[in-house]
A = this chain, B = another copy of it.
Amino acid sequence: MAIVGGSEEAAVVVRNKQVILREYVPASGFPKESDMCVTTTGTIKLKLPDQAGSDGVLVKNLYLSCDPSQRSRMTKYEPSTHFVSFQPGLPIRGYGVAEVLDSGHPNFEKGDLVWGITGWEEYSVLTKPAADTLTKIQHTDVPLSYYTGILGMPGMTAYVGFYEICSPKKGQYVFISAASGAVGQLVGQFAKLQGCYVVGSAGSKEKVDLLKNKFGFDDGFNYKEEPDLNAALKKYFPEGIDIYWENVGGKMLDAVLLNMKIGGRIAVCGMISQYNLGGQAEGVHNLMYLVAKRVRVEGFLVPDYYHLYPKFLELVLPYIKEGKIVYVEDKAQGLESGPAALVGLFTGRNVGKQVVVVAPE
């Protein structure tokens, strides 16, 4: 902490390193590191400003989460759409783990550890609506970074998507795309605990090895080495697929539609292969099979299900402590590494959940 002003009586003022969005990114095209810049010129008073009022929380950010949905928010959207765009010239935002330094909010006090929406910067003043996304961390006998992943939004996504949307049954055939990522690795482990047969796809040998050797998947394949995805799925699922966990979209979805079993379910968690294509998203051609196979496809967003968070923790914390579920993180050190870590999601550079370490615990 670099003290640049103030006294013991007045509030301490410190430098506040930030990851700033330079300007809106076009809807089409991969985001680049240079779309963001890391500034060290800003400062912040380590006291909640009066205008933050009873909603405000001043936090020191510890870990930041890189999530595919942040891509969408780098583009300018009409106010009427679902997405709330980031503001050029201000830090980008996302899920993170932080320590409360000062609070006017009734739910939090100095010293609390929280997870929720925060800024990509060392210190953030959070007010509504971000402050309402914060959850106090009650269990600290696990790595705190897990609250950006297995114990945070991605974990809840896997949980509600799998148990609430997929209607899984023992012995069913489950296919997961982007299977070694923040959500996929957990869906696969839930499916194994449920007694399903689980195959995942990922984008490198290293990731496929993780699926098979670390996460206990029955099988896995590198989609980049499969010239014919339909043939690959036929090989791994000669009986067809009961449940498809959709993380990628495009060609993979088309191949899956050809291989669904009658009465199958597709949980649409995301379509990362399409996020940088803007209005040019790949066409999906095999939707006709939804009828012949009587398939249900359901999109969902995890904030609709946060009331289930306590139930989720009850299930997953013991699994983590007993080693029945493992979680692989890819930790980028320091805010400076944030932009590269975030854009790396879209080329699959990360192995496991991508986290940015802002400050040592």
Contacts and interface: CB of A to CB of B under 8 A. Distances in A.
A1 interface: no
A299 B304 contact: no
A82 B293 contact: yes
Interface of A: 81-83, 249, 253, 268-271, 274-275, 279-301, 304
Identify the interface centre among A269, A290, A301: most chain B CB within 10 Å of its CB.
A290
A47 to B, nearest CB: 38
B285 A282 contact: yes
Identify the interface centre among A269, A291, A293: most chain B CB within 10 Å of its CB.
A291
Contacts of A300: 291, 294
A125 to B, nearest CB: 28
B294 A271 contact: no
Nearest to A258: B81
Contacts of A274: 288
B294 A297 contact: no
Nearest to A266: B297
Given A275-B288, A284-B285, 8 more contacts: A82-B292, A82-B293, A271-B291, A274-B288, A280-B285, A290-B298, A292-B301, A294-B298
Nearest to A279: B285
Give the 3 A-B residue pairs with the shortest CB-CB distance, closest first. A283-B283, A290-B299, A291-B299
A282 B283 contact: yes
A292 B302 CA distance: 11
A291 B301 contact: yes
Contacts of A283: 282-285
A271 B295 CA distance: 14
A286 B299 CA distance: 12
Contacts of A296: 296-299
Nearest to A165: B296
20 contacts: A81-B292, A249-B287, A249-B288, A268-B290, A269-B291, A270-B291, A271-B291, A279-B285, A281-B285, A284-B285, A284-B287, A290-B297, A290-B298, A290-B299, A291-B299, A294-B298, A294-B299, A294-B300, A294-B304, A295-B298
Contact of A284 (B269, B280, B284, B292): B284
A275 B275 CA distance: 29
A287 B301 contact: no
A5 to B, nearest CB: 44
A150 to B, nearest CB: 21
A294 B288 contact: no
B297 A298 contact: yes
Contacts of A285: 279-284
A16 B293 CA distance: 36
Contacts of A282: 283, 285
A260 to B, nearest CB: 10
A292 to B, nearest CB: 4
A300 B289 CA distance: 10
Identify the interface centre among A280, A282, A294: most chain B CB within 10 Å of its CB.
A294
Nearest to A290: B299
A301 to B, nearest CB: 6
Identify the interface centre among A253, A269, A275, A297: most chain B CB within 10 Å of its CB.
A297
A27 B280 CA distance: 27
A302 to B, nearest CB: 10
Contacts of A284: 283-285, 287
Contacts of A293: 82, 299
Contacts of A268: 287, 290-291
